[in-house]
Amino acid sequence: MTSNHVAEVIAEIGNVLLGKEEQIKLCVACLLAKGHLLIEDLPGMGKTTLAHALAGALGLNYQRIQFTSDMLPSDILGVSIFNSETAAFEFRKGPIFSQLVLADEINRATPKAQSALLEAMEERQVTQDGDCYVLPAPFFVIATQNPSEQMGTYPLPESQLDRFLMRIHLGYPDPAVERELIVGIDRRQLLKSMKSVVDSEQLAKLQQEVASIHLSSAVIDYIQRLVGFSRRESVGLSPRGTLALVAAAKAYALVEGRSHVIPEDVQVVLGPVAGHRVQGAQDITGHAGVNVVQKMLAEVDVVDRALL
Amino acid sequence: MKVRAIYPIPRNSLVLLLVTVLLALLPHVGRLPVWLPIVICLVVGWRVQVFRERVSFPGKVVRLVAVLISFGGVFAYYGTVLGAEAGVALLILAYSYKLLEMYKERDAFLVVILSYFVVATNYLFDTSLFSTLYTLFVVVVVTASLVGMNQSREGSSPFRALRVALVLSAQSVPLMIILFIFVPRIAPVWNLNVQGGQAQTGLSDSISPGDISSLSRSAELAFTVEFKGGKPEHKDLYWRGVTYSDFDGRTWRRGLRESFNNGVGVLSRDLVRRGEELRYRVIMEPTYRRWLFTLPFASLKLSGVKQVDSLVYVRDEAVSTLFSYDVVSHLEYSYQPGGLPERERVRLTSLPVTDPRTTDRANELWAAARGDVSVYANAILKWFNREPFVYTLNPPELRGDINDAFLFDSRQGFCAHYAGAFVFLMRSVGIPARVVGGYQGGDFHEAGYLVVRQYHAHAWAEIWIESKGWVRVDPTAAVAPERVMSGPEGATTDDSFSLNSPLSPLLFRNIPFVRDIRSKIEYVNYLWSKWVVGYSNKTQMEFLSRWIDGVTPQKMVFILLVCLGLVMLLLAIYILVERGRARVDPIDALYLSFCLKLERQGLVREGGEGVWTFCARACLAFPQLEGELKAITSLYDAIRYGDLSQENKENNRSDDATLSNLKIELRQAVKTLKFVR
């Protein structure tokens, strides 16, 4: 069964990244919903490990781009070089031409380079010298940024944050988990020995399956109440944000092995999906957005009790 | 023929529409010429074949020919194309032909509107309770087909349409009642003379032996009477309606003077009234005649009604609808005891020169009575009583001089024969006399009113005696006293008082159960006639003045407006309130009641808590109920969030069934959830 595949993927990644099951699920859900992921955390929390493990478990080819302030778009997308043998320009594909791209410290690059990446993420293709180069499918970007070190960074504008389906935090591990890290084998070794659980064809099938997850009107009502609430409280979710919420909830339901969405799915993905979209999201610490989300979760009733 | 259907009629609702057409036409069938229902069936059949795409719509020529032929047919049958009956027949034809032109949605709407009209025309002929109930049913069906045509093509279902129509009709009932009670009744300025087949019953302008026989067997209602206060005895129930004073040798006719009476009325010096007065109200079925029926001596004050010399009441217009009037009667009275005007005396003693044997016998008896009118009359009655005269409703035909033939040869006859012969015997010796037609007797219903039917029709005689005035003599009583005491059933010794219709109420009249049911039905019909059909300007005033002082049309309009305003206000409040609140899904309500149960145990669900999160918390609080809690939550999950829920378009019937089973299960589970401490 396909849901078994998902469970296997999560178990496989869980072997490498300990104690972060929730984040792994969100991550997989984000991938299944064909969205991109923004991980915001301090260095050394396992962002790269997570991306790497995901690529390994899903059998995706993986590229890492380290963003720096002197980066140019061609460093990401690729460059046309003159081939003297054929006497013609030849496009050399950049690191973005892989199924899973880890864009490390995205806020360190200039807006120009950021835009190049974000445009490619949205279009799923690269246009260079009038030629179009389609990016591989599935195409999944995990971007990371460091929230605490603001010096010399170019924070992503709100409109570009919107391109990421989810923004998650990894957070510190539990003491027990940390102890395991200390005594256990090197995670990097484990990464190398990871075997892929699904191939890209199965992955595409899983992505298709997300669309067929049933979303009942009761849950739609709940989502609309949430969205309405966010719009009353602050600058709320845009329609794209609503669609993102729906897609993420459906994918999360699939990750949970359910054929229909329940409000808990929405609640789990609400923080990652809406946190960087509601007002205050430009605040790199994201606290304002998180506050709105907390309020939404607490105050919007799951069961409509309008009459009572 | 090609049809460019821009807004084609939804196929599902078309079936309903065809059924509607047939239902609307059904009550008319009995009144139409025989060929007309056949035409309707052919037309509907054609339309059904078009619907099944077996044949196409008829062309212009066919339609034109059909219209012309049926126009001719209606004219041939009724002799006119005007008037209610022919008009309705034409309407029905046009209505059914419209089906063959019904290409587009617009045409179908036209047919629906016409259906309402066709249903309404039924009231021209029949206002009985059952017909009204049927009509209301058809109105609901017509509305349903209107609803059906406005349903979306995918979502059309005849039962849903019917339900919507029922709700709509039910909503209009209060308005209907208010309008019925308060709208001022204005008598129509036109007079639609719908005769129908009903002219056959009732008394006629003339009476020649043979007429009343056919009448006697009809159990149709003639009129009902409500007595206010005392009731008269059965033997006094002579309902005078019409007097016949002209005899041409075969037929007794109403006097010309009576027909063209100028309404001078009765001179009070000619009249002496004694005894107690009797108050009653007569509710008369339409007779399409002008006379009214009363007990003697009747005082009746009503505009458009006048009393003629012979003390019967004549109305300016024929009674073509249910008609009621209040009467005060004095059973003991004497009229014109002082003497008759000479012209009257001559008129009331004139006879053609016929019936020599009867005249001889009259002179013989008159001589024996030595000029005493009472003695003479009694002698005649004795003669009727002693000789083998037979009271029968099937007398043989009388040839030649009818009185001679009756009195000396056949000696079989009914009231008209005896009354006619008696008056002839009186007049031939110069005693003023006349035949009176009307009804005798009636059946007292349990509810206290009197039902007079067509078979109570009767004819008797009135003779004028010096110093006594007019005296009623019923010669039939001399032959068959039971006729007067108990009605026509008991009077006939042969089985001539039998049925001429298989559904006659006279059938099974001796079975108590059938009798009981019939009398109940009659009672309901009576109330219906009295309060609904007979709700006229006068009864309206009477009814309303129970609550309102001094009913005026202005006041009624005011009340009407107030009522309508109230209805509007209530509607407005309802709409505003309804708009203001969203409806709770019944399953949500059920789940909330489950939450309330837990709340009473001290476990409150947070607003933003999902059902499974809450379930997990509840399971921690009540570990012994884990199974039940999880069952309820998963049922709720399946019903509200699962892909079985109603909005899933791919669901089929079995899914629906599963869903409703789940709902029942959830209801049960929530109901049986118990906390044991």
The answer to whether residue B645 neighbours chain A at the CB level (below 8 Å) is yes
Residues B424 and B481 in one domain: yes
Any catalytic annotation for residue B415?
Answer: yes
Residues B558 and B662 in one domain: no
Q: Which of B580, B599, B622 is the last residue of a domain?
A: B580
Residues B479 and B562 in one domain: no
Position A205 in a domain: no
DSSP string, B133-153: HHHHHHHHHHHHHHHHHHS-S
The answer to whether residue B611 neighbours chain A at the CB level (below 8 Å) is yes
Count of domains forming chain B: 4
Residues A174 and A245 in one domain: no
Taking alpha carbons only, the member of A213, A226, A221 closest to residue A294 is: A226
Return the residue of B nearest to A260 by Cα.
Answer: B642
Burial class (CB in 10 A: 0-12, 13-18, 19+), B146: buried
Position B541 in a domain: no
Per-residue confidence at B647, pLDDT binned at 50, 70, 90? Answer: low
Partners of A93 in the beta sheet? Answer: A78
Structural domain including A40 reads: 2-198
Position B317 in a domain: yes
Q: Which of A141, A171, A198 is the last residue of a domain?
A: A198
Instruction: Render pLDDT for A170-204 as a digit per residue (tens, 0 to 9).
Output: 888 888 888 888 887 777 777 777 888 888 888 88
Separation of alpha carbons B88 and B196, rounded Å: 12
Q: In what order do the strands lie in the sheet with A164-168?
A: A62-66, A100-104, A140-145, A36-40, A164-168
Tokens of B601: 């145990």
Region of poorest pLDDT, from A61-70, B328-337, B499-508, B550-559? B499-508
Residues A178 and A217 in one domain: no
Is the Cα dihedral B268, B270, B272, B278 positive or negative?
Answer: negative
Residues A224 and A193 in one domain: no
Residues B357 and B477 in one domain: yes
Per-residue confidence at B549, pLDDT binned at 50, 70, 90? Answer: confident
pLDDT of residue B674: 79
Mean predicted confidence (pLDDT) in B615-621: 89
Give contacts of A307 with chain B, Cβ < 8 Å: 581-584, 589
Position B543 in a domain: no
Tokens of B293: 């029926």
Position B496 in a domain: no
Whether residue B201 is predicted with pLDDT greater than 70 in this model: the reply is: no
pLDDT of residue B140: 93
Position B192 in a domain: no
Position A263 in a domain: yes
Position A308 in a domain: no
The rounded percent of chain B whose pLDDT value lies above 70 is: 84
Position A232 in a domain: yes
Whether residue B265 is predicted with pLDDT greater than 60 in this model: the reply is: no
Any catalytic annotation for residue B595?
Answer: no
CATH number at residue A184: 3.40.50.300
Position B507 in a domain: no
Burial class (CB in 10 A: 0-12, 13-18, 19+), B492: buried
Q: From its phi and psi, is residue B233 left (phi > 0), alpha (psi between -120 and 50) or beta?
A: beta
A300/B612 touch (CB, cutoff 8 Å), yes or no? no
Return the residue of B nearest to A268 by Cα.
Answer: B610
Q: Say which of B591, B643, B647 has its CB closest to residue A259.
A: B643
Region of poorest pLDDT, from A75-84, B198-207, B394-403, B476-485? B198-207
Catalytic residue among B415, B417, B456, B615: B415
Residues A54 and A175 in one domain: yes
Instruction: Render pLDDT for A248-267 as a digit per residue (tens, 0 to 9).
Output: 999 999 999 888 899 999 99
Residues A237 and A186 in one domain: no
Separation of alpha carbons A94 and A195, rounded Å: 26
Residues A135 and A10 in one domain: yes
Residues A152 and A217 in one domain: no
Residues A220 and A98 in one domain: no
List CB contacts of A272: < 8 A, sequence separation 6 or more: A26, A30, A166, A167, A168, A248
Residues B153 and B19 in one domain: yes
List CB contacts of B254: < 8 A, sequence separation 6 or more: B205, B206, B242, B243, B244, B245, B246
Give contacts of B598 with chain A, Cβ < 8 Å: none
* Crossing angle between the packed helical segments A21-32 and A239-255, to the nearest 10 degrees: 120
List CB contacts of B295: < 8 A, sequence separation 6 or more: B232, B236, B237, B238, B239, B240, B278, B280, B327, B329, B331
pLDDT of residue A26: 92
Separation of alpha carbons A111 and A53, rounded Å: 29
Residues B239 and B286 in one domain: yes
Residues A170 and A264 in one domain: no
Q: From its phi and psi, is residue B60 left (phi > 0), alpha (psi between -120 and 50) or beta?
A: alpha
Structural domain including B651 reads: 586-672
Tokens of A190: 């484990």
Residues A252 and A171 in one domain: no
Taking alpha carbons only, the member of B375, B370, B473 closest to residue B421 is: B473
Whether residue B493 is predicted with pLDDT greater than 50 in this model: the reply is: no
Position A206 in a domain: no
Give contacts of A217 with chain B, Cβ < 8 Å: 645, 647
Position B277 in a domain: yes
Q: Say which of A262, A304, A308 has its CB closest to residue B610.
A: A262
Separation of alpha carbons B233 and B238, rounded Å: 10
Q: Which of A168, A198, A228 is the last residue of a domain?
A: A198
Maximum alpha-carbon separation in chain B: 123
Taking alpha carbons only, the member of A198, A167, A199, A39 closest to residue A104 is: A39
Any catalytic annotation for residue B474?
Answer: yes
B643/A296 touch (CB, cutoff 8 Å), yes or no? no
Residues A158 and A99 in one domain: yes
- ipTM score assigned to the predicted complex: 0.84
Task: State the distance between the two ends of chain A, measured CA to CA, in whole angstroms.
Answer: 43
Position A191 in a domain: yes
List CB contacts of B517: < 8 A, sequence separation 6 or more: none
Q: How far is the alpha carbon of A239 from chain B, nearest alpha carbon, in Å?
A: 22
Residues B118 and B229 in one domain: no
Instruction: Render pLDDT for A209-247 as a digit per residue (tens, 0 to 9).
Output: 888 888 888 888 889 988 988 888 777 788 989 999 999
Count of domains forming chain A: 2
β-pairing verdict for A100-104 and A62-66: parallel
Q: Which of B151, B182, B213 is the last residue of a domain?
A: B182
List CB contacts of B566: < 8 A, sequence separation 6 or more: none
**Phi, psi at B282, each rounded to 5°:** -105, 130
Separation of alpha carbons A294 and B8, rounded Å: 54
Mean predicted confidence (pLDDT) in A71-84: 86
Query: What's the mean per-residue pLDDT of chain B?
Result: 79
Using an 8 Å Cβ cutoff, are B219 and B402 in contact?
no
Region of poorest pLDDT, from B165-169, B311-315, B618-622? B311-315
Separation of alpha carbons B217 and B453, rounded Å: 10
Q: Which of A198, A226, A259 is the last residue of a domain?
A: A198
Position A223 in a domain: yes
Enumerate chain A positions whose Cβ falls within 8 A of a Cβ in B: 214, 216-219, 259-264, 267, 296-308
DSSP string, B547-614: TSSS--HHHHHHHHHHHHHHHHHHHHHHHHHHHHSPPPPHHHHHHHHHHHHHHHTT-PPPTT--HHHH
Q: How many CA atoms does the CB half-sphere of B402 hold within 13 Å?
A: 24
Q: For residue A20, what is the DSSP state?
A: -
Residues A184 and A216 in one domain: no
Instruction: Render pLDDT for B382-439 as a digit per residue (tens, 0 to 9).
Output: 888 888 888 877 777 777 778 888 888 888 888 888 888 888 888 888 888 888 888 8
Position B537 in a domain: no
Per-residue confidence at B119, pLDDT binned at 50, 70, 90? Answer: very high
Using an 8 Å Cβ cutoff, are B439 and B456 in contact?
yes
Q: Which of B491, B508, B527 is the last residue of a domain?
A: B491
Taking alpha carbons only, the member of A282, A256, A281, A279 closest to residue A267 is: A256
Position A189 in a domain: yes
Whether residue B495 is predicted with pLDDT greater than 50 in this model: the reply is: no
What is the Cα B633 distance to its own chain's centre? 60
Burial class (CB in 10 A: 0-12, 13-18, 19+), B76: exposed
